[in-house]
Amino acid sequence: MRPIVLVLNGPNLNLLGTREPATYGHETLADISALCGRAAEEFGLAVEFRQTNHEGELLDWIHGARGRCAGILINPAAWTHTSVAIRDALVASELPVIEVHLSNVHAREPFRHHSFVSAIAQAVMCGFGSHGYRLALEHFSQRFKEQGA
Protein backbone atom coordinates (compact mmCIF):
# COMPACT_ATOMS: atom_id res chain seq x y z
CA MET A 1 0.00 0.00 0.00
CA ARG A 2 1.23 3.46 -0.87
CA PRO A 3 1.81 5.87 2.02
CA ILE A 4 -0.94 8.51 2.16
CA VAL A 5 0.02 12.19 2.21
CA LEU A 6 -2.78 14.52 3.21
CA VAL A 7 -2.46 17.76 1.21
CA LEU A 8 -4.35 20.54 2.97
CA ASN A 9 -5.11 24.02 1.67
CA GLY A 10 -6.46 26.86 3.78
CA PRO A 11 -8.73 29.84 3.16
CA ASN A 12 -9.09 31.64 -0.16
CA LEU A 13 -6.93 29.12 -2.02
CA ASN A 14 -10.12 27.98 -3.81
CA LEU A 15 -9.86 31.34 -5.63
CA LEU A 16 -6.45 30.61 -7.16
CA GLY A 17 -6.27 31.50 -10.83
CA THR A 18 -8.29 34.68 -10.37
CA ARG A 19 -6.99 35.77 -6.95
CA GLU A 20 -4.07 38.24 -7.14
CA PRO A 21 -2.44 36.51 -10.12
CA ALA A 22 0.64 38.76 -9.89
CA THR A 23 1.35 37.14 -6.51
CA TYR A 24 -0.11 33.65 -6.87
CA GLY A 25 0.05 33.00 -10.62
CA HIS A 26 -2.64 31.82 -13.02
CA GLU A 27 -2.86 28.17 -11.98
CA THR A 28 -6.10 27.10 -10.31
CA LEU A 29 -6.38 24.86 -7.27
CA ALA A 30 -7.61 22.12 -9.63
CA ASP A 31 -4.34 22.50 -11.57
CA ILE A 32 -2.36 22.08 -8.34
CA SER A 33 -4.47 19.08 -7.38
CA ALA A 34 -3.69 17.51 -10.77
CA LEU A 35 0.01 18.29 -10.32
CA CYS A 36 -0.05 16.55 -6.93
CA GLY A 37 -1.82 13.56 -8.48
CA ARG A 38 0.91 13.23 -11.12
CA ALA A 39 3.65 13.67 -8.51
CA ALA A 40 2.02 11.01 -6.33
CA GLU A 41 2.11 8.55 -9.25
CA GLU A 42 5.74 9.36 -9.95
CA PHE A 43 6.87 9.14 -6.32
CA GLY A 44 4.80 6.13 -5.25
CA LEU A 45 2.48 8.00 -2.89
CA ALA A 46 -1.28 8.29 -2.43
CA VAL A 47 -2.42 11.88 -2.12
CA GLU A 48 -5.64 13.19 -0.57
CA PHE A 49 -6.05 16.80 -1.69
CA ARG A 50 -8.42 19.14 0.19
CA GLN A 51 -9.24 22.83 0.66
CA THR A 52 -11.49 24.60 3.13
CA ASN A 53 -12.44 28.10 4.22
CA HIS A 54 -13.53 26.79 7.65
CA GLU A 55 -10.84 26.39 10.29
CA GLY A 56 -12.75 23.78 12.29
CA GLU A 57 -13.06 21.60 9.20
CA LEU A 58 -9.31 21.77 8.68
CA LEU A 59 -8.76 20.80 12.33
CA ASP A 60 -11.08 17.78 11.91
CA TRP A 61 -9.14 16.66 8.83
CA ILE A 62 -5.82 16.95 10.70
CA HIS A 63 -7.24 14.92 13.62
CA GLY A 64 -8.45 12.27 11.18
CA ALA A 65 -4.99 11.87 9.67
CA ARG A 66 -3.44 10.54 12.87
CA GLY A 67 -2.55 6.87 12.53
CA ARG A 68 -3.99 6.79 8.99
CA CYS A 69 -1.69 9.01 6.92
CA ALA A 70 2.09 9.04 6.62
CA GLY A 71 2.51 12.81 6.41
CA ILE A 72 0.78 16.16 6.01
CA LEU A 73 1.62 18.76 3.40
CA ILE A 74 -0.14 21.97 4.40
CA ASN A 75 -0.56 25.41 2.91
CA PRO A 76 -2.40 26.99 5.84
CA ALA A 77 -2.73 30.28 3.84
CA ALA A 78 -3.77 33.17 6.15
CA TRP A 79 -4.13 30.79 9.14
CA THR A 80 -0.34 30.35 8.99
CA HIS A 81 -0.04 33.73 10.66
CA THR A 82 -2.94 33.45 13.12
CA SER A 83 -3.71 29.91 14.24
CA VAL A 84 -2.28 28.27 17.34
CA ALA A 85 -5.10 25.71 16.98
CA ILE A 86 -3.76 24.45 13.65
CA ARG A 87 -0.24 24.24 15.04
CA ASP A 88 -1.48 22.27 18.07
CA ALA A 89 -3.53 19.91 15.88
CA LEU A 90 -0.51 19.24 13.66
CA VAL A 91 1.59 18.40 16.73
CA ALA A 92 -1.19 16.14 18.03
CA SER A 93 -1.27 14.28 14.71
CA GLU A 94 2.26 12.99 15.43
CA LEU A 95 2.91 13.09 11.68
CA PRO A 96 5.73 14.75 9.75
CA VAL A 97 4.54 18.10 8.38
CA ILE A 98 5.78 20.14 5.45
CA GLU A 99 4.54 23.75 5.24
CA VAL A 100 4.18 25.10 1.71
CA HIS A 101 3.44 28.60 0.42
CA LEU A 102 3.14 29.58 -3.20
CA SER A 103 4.60 33.03 -2.62
CA ASN A 104 7.76 34.01 -0.77
CA VAL A 105 6.06 35.21 2.40
CA HIS A 106 9.33 36.73 3.66
CA ALA A 107 9.43 39.16 0.75
CA ARG A 108 5.91 40.37 1.54
CA GLU A 109 4.18 42.32 4.33
CA PRO A 110 5.74 41.94 7.82
CA PHE A 111 2.61 40.22 9.20
CA ARG A 112 3.33 37.31 6.84
CA HIS A 113 6.85 36.80 8.21
CA HIS A 114 5.68 34.92 11.28
CA SER A 115 4.28 31.42 11.00
CA PHE A 116 2.80 29.44 13.88
CA VAL A 117 3.47 26.26 11.90
CA SER A 118 7.12 26.59 10.84
CA ALA A 119 8.61 25.73 14.23
CA ILE A 120 6.85 22.36 14.32
CA ALA A 121 7.28 21.57 10.60
CA GLN A 122 9.95 19.27 9.28
CA ALA A 123 10.49 21.61 6.32
CA VAL A 124 9.14 24.86 4.91
CA MET A 125 8.82 25.64 1.23
CA CYS A 126 7.93 29.13 0.03
CA GLY A 127 8.25 31.07 -3.20
CA PHE A 128 8.41 28.05 -5.52
CA GLY A 129 4.81 28.48 -6.68
CA SER A 130 3.00 25.20 -7.28
CA HIS A 131 6.36 23.45 -7.77
CA GLY A 132 6.75 23.64 -3.99
CA TYR A 133 3.97 21.05 -3.63
CA ARG A 134 5.83 18.69 -5.94
CA LEU A 135 9.14 19.24 -4.12
CA ALA A 136 7.46 18.53 -0.79
CA LEU A 137 5.92 15.29 -2.10
CA GLU A 138 9.27 14.20 -3.49
CA HIS A 139 10.85 14.83 -0.09
CA PHE A 140 8.16 12.81 1.70
CA SER A 141 8.66 9.95 -0.74
CA GLN A 142 12.41 9.96 -0.20
CA ARG A 143 11.97 10.06 3.56
CA PHE A 144 9.46 7.18 3.60
CA LYS A 145 11.79 5.07 1.43
CA GLU A 146 14.69 5.72 3.83
CA GLN A 147 12.50 4.76 6.78
CA GLY A 148 11.37 1.57 5.05
CA ALA A 149 14.94 0.63 4.14
* Residues in 106-125 that interact with ligand DQA by CB under 6 A: 112
Provide, for the chain, the percentages of residues in helix, strand and coil under a 3-state DSSP scheme, each rounded to the nearest 5. Answer: 50, 15, 30
- Please report whether residue 97 would count as binding ligand DQA according to CB under 6 A: no
Annotated binding residue 9:
no
Which stretches does DSSP call E strand in 4-149?
4-9, 46-51, 71-75, 97-101, 123-126
5 CB-contact burial (10 Å; exposed 0-12 / middle 13-18 / buried 19+): buried
- Under the binding rule (CB under 6 A), the answer on residue 98 touching ligand DQA is no
Q: Which span (63-71, 84-92, 99-107, 139-147) binds ligand DQA, by CB under 6 A?
A: 99-107
How far apart are alpha carbons 30 and 62 in whole angstroms? Answer: 21
**Sole binder of ligand DQA in the list 49, 58, 61, 75 (CB under 6 A):** 75
Does residue 130 interact with ligand DQA by CB under 6 A? Answer: no
- Minimum distance, C-beta of residue 62 to ligand DQA, in the bound complex (Å): 16
Count of all residues that appear for the chain in the document: 149
The annotation places the binding site at 75, 81, 88, 102-103, 112
Which residues are known catalytic residues? 24, 101
